[in-house]
Amino acid sequence: MKSITRTEFAFPNQTAKYVGKVRDVYTIANKYLVMVATDRISAFDVVLPKGIPYKGQVLNQIASKFLDSTSDIVKNWKIASPDPMVTVGYKCDSLPVEMIVRGYLTGSSWRAYKAGAREICGVKIPDGMREHQKFDKPIVTPTTKAEIGGHDQDISREEIIRRKLVPEDVYNKLEEYSLALFERGTQIAAERGLILVDTKYEFGLKDGDIYLIDEIHTPDSSRYFYADGYQERFDKGEQQKQLSKEFVREWLMENNFSGQKGQKVPEMDDARVKSISDRYIELYENITGTKFEPAEYTDNAYERIETNVKNMLARL
């Protein structure tokens, strides 16, 4: 199975290129961004050694659909998605915090809670909660954005404002937008028999207005449970059936890798790669309610992407 793990395009009026953990982002005329969702996969802030076929397409197309279906809540950066693996949009001035919204006590929040924490990012968590338990209402637990190669750090609302990372009035709007986006995502997920458990949002400024940027409600930025059987599994103290990247993190931890210094990434054989690809496609079909139509993975895939993007840029 083929995958696209790096790109080396030279688009007209290209002024910069940024290589993230998953996306290659090309700046055009300091005004637009061409965001290519590659098949790279990361966990614990480490890019794993093999790409996952179709992962980039899955991420790009889910994010594209959710950007369209939430544009009435807050403006977003998307202009168009000219290729299954690409979105073209406005370049915004990124705000230095990520907004994490949690509807359930799970993942890293549960690990912290189990270790004794009763406050996350300034939000108090009551005693007596159990793993995967629903909060009375969703909570916002922001993080700072890490420098390249670094780790995001938990931070409270008060600390964000005290350090003047974001003005208080802007931060209040970020919380308002984040909770509204999470509510919309929860509604859409429920229609598909899923529970949106937690997710992250990133925002930027353009002409003084707040814009939603980057991806939204993808398996890389979000966690989903299957609604069917959730309560029964919770009552029995069993693990939830979920669709997210958490299964990759769990596999890594089972093989003694959690991103710590000196640890070695376990070998990813073809069967493991295919199983991860299948899980991403499964989430796509569940969350969108449509059948996944894989883009061609031939030697001409790079040419296809380049042609589609150039045709799009010519129309801007």
| pLDDT tens string 238-262 | 999 887 787 888 899 999 999 898 9
Percent of the chain with pLDDT strictly greater than 70: 97
210 three-state secondary structure: strand
**To the nearest whole number, what is the mean pLDDT of the chain?**
94
DSSP annotation of 164 reads T
226-244: per-residue pLDDT in tens? 999 999 999 999 999 887 7
Contact of 224 with 244, CB cutoff 8 Å: yes
Instruction: Report the candidate in 40, 41, 37 with the shortest Cα–Cα distance to residue 82.
Output: 37
Please report which residue ranges of the chain form alpha helices under DSSP H.
55-69, 107-114, 157-162, 168-191, 230-236, 246-254, 270-288, 301-315
CB neighbours of 203 closer than 8 A, spacing ≥ 6? 94, 95, 99, 174, 177, 210, 211, 212, 213
| Whether this model's pTM surpasses 0.85 | yes
Given a cut of 90, whether residue 283 has pLDDT beyond it is no
Residue 70: pLDDT band with limits 50, 70, 90: very high
172-189 average pLDDT score: 98
Please give the pLDDT value at position 145: 80
Alpha carbon dihedral 307, 309, 313, 316, in 10-degree steps, equals 120
- Contact between 9 and 19 under an 8 Å Cβ cutoff? The reply is no
Among candidate residues 290, 296, 247, the one with its CA nearest the CA of residue 272? 247
Q: At 124, is the secondary structure helix, strand, or coil?
A: strand
Least confident of 86-95, 141-150, 201-210, 212-221: 141-150
Task: For 119-148, write each residue's pLDDT tens digit.
Answer: 999 999 999 999 999 999 999 999 998 665
SS3 at position 55: helix
Amino acid (1-letter code) at residue 231: Q
Tokens of 53: 């076929």
Find all residues with CB under 8 Å of 194, minimum gap 6, and list them.
224, 225, 226, 227, 243, 286, 287
Q: What is the pLDDT of residue 67?
A: 98
Query: Which are the contacts of 159, defined by CB distance < 8 A and separation ≥ 6?
Result: 122
Per-residue model confidence (pLDDT) at position 235: 97
pLDDT at residue 149 tops 60 = no
In a 13 Å sphere around the CA of 278, the CA atoms on its Cβ side amount to: 6
CB of 140 within 8 A of CB of 201?
no
- Report the 10 Å Cβ neighbour count for 315: 9
When pLDDT is cut at 50, 70 and 90, the band that residue 298 belongs to is low
Domains of the chain: 14-92+267-315 (3.30.200.20), 93-244 (3.30.470.20)
Residue pointed to by tokens 């493991």: 272
Burial grade of 189 (CB within 10 A; 0-12, 13-18, 19 or more): buried
Backbone CA torsion sign across 180, 229, 193, 288:
positive
Residues 14-66: tens digit of each pLDDT: 999 999 999 999 999 999 999 999 999 998 889 999 999 999 999 999 999 99
